[in-house]
């Protein structure tokens, strides 16, 4: 069946990625939240180390950083070019890749198949069916003072947050290589300081359940918007005041604290 933009809003999880050389991955935990056009994606490998006792970036040890650097995740806008869907990456946990993220999508039985355009791969995607796909809204964010960019996306009772790192990474490397070449623990910590968090809207508030920054997990997100600004804080951290670049849909922040 042909896939359109209207088929995609909601949460998708991945059961398989396979390459022509025989490599395949069925273990990485992947969550792709799609809004009307904005999306955020988080991909975390297995064998996660213990992060108990880590309350912030400066608590990270080298082994913890090494695992964090194997994560993937990105945020941006999903566009259509002829028969291909293109995931434009405005925030990326890994350094900029050589090839664009583009592929075809088609439905097969009860899952969706993605086939890469510039890189040969096949992915199997499954919709988190019980979840509502409305209301949905998203916003691109900017923090001129720090130079960071951000995005927040809410679909039904799920939300994701993306925040870029301060540093600019060299393109076409892997983050693990950048970390290995870092000259200090502090620089290695700064290299993994890119947030992609997935959470749920509950009666108790907006709760982060998974994050590329593990100490965010379990935190309650506080949001308030006024005069073109969005104030965001998680888990009692210092609030960050973002400039709203643009908004997709109608924000519904009544339950965000």
pTM: 0.95
pLDDT at 159: 97
Q: Which fold has domain 5-248?
A: Lipocalin (2.40.128)
Q: Quote the tokens at residue 209.
A: 């359940």
pLDDT at 253: 58
pLDDT at 234: 86
Distance CA(84)–CA(57), nearest Å, equals 38
Residue 255 has pLDDT above 50, yes or no: no
Residue 41 has pLDDT above 70, yes or no: yes
Residue 257 has pLDDT above 50, yes or no: no
Confidence of residue 160 (pLDDT cuts 50, 70, 90): very high
Mean pLDDT of the chain: 94
C-alpha distances out from residue 58 to 92, 187, 196, 253, Å = 21, 10, 18, 31
Domain coordinates of the chain in residue numbers?
A: 5-248
Residue 89 has pLDDT above 80, yes or no: yes
pLDDT at 207: 97
Q: Quote the tokens at residue 4.
A: 């359109």
């Amino acid at each position: 069946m042909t896939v359109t933009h209207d088929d995609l809003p909601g949460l998708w999880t991945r059961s398989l990625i396979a390459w022509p050389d025989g490599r395949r991955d069925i273990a990485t935990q992947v969550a792709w939240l799609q809004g009307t056009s904005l999306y955020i994606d988080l991909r975390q490998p297995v064998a996660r180390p213990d992060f108990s006792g880590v309350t912030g970036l400066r608590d990270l040890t080298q082994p913890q950083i090494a695992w964090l650097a194997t994560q993937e995740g990105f945020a941006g806008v999903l566009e259509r070019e002829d028969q291909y869907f293109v995931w434009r990456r405005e925030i990326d946990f890994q350094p900029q890749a050589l090839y664009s993220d583009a592929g075809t999508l088609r439905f097969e039985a009860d899952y969706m198949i993605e086939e890469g355009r510039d890189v040969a791969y096949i992915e199997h995607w499954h919709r988190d069916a019980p979840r509502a796909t409305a209301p949905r809204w998203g916003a691109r964010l900017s923090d001129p003072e720090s130079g960071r960019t951000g995005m927040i996306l809410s679909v039904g009772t799920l939300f994701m947050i993306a925040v870029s790192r301060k540093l600019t990474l060299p393109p076409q490397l892997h983050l693990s290589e950048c970390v290995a070449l870092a000259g200090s623990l502090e620089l290695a910590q700064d290299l993994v300081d890119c947030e992609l968090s997935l959470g749920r809207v509950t009666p108790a508030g907006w709760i982060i359940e998974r994050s590329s920054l593990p100490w965010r997990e379990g935190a309650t997100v506080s949001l308030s918007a006024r005069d073109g600004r969005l104030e965001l804080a998680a888990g009692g951290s210092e609030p960050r005041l973002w400039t709203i670049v643009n908004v997709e849909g109608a924000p519904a922040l009544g339950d965000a604290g």
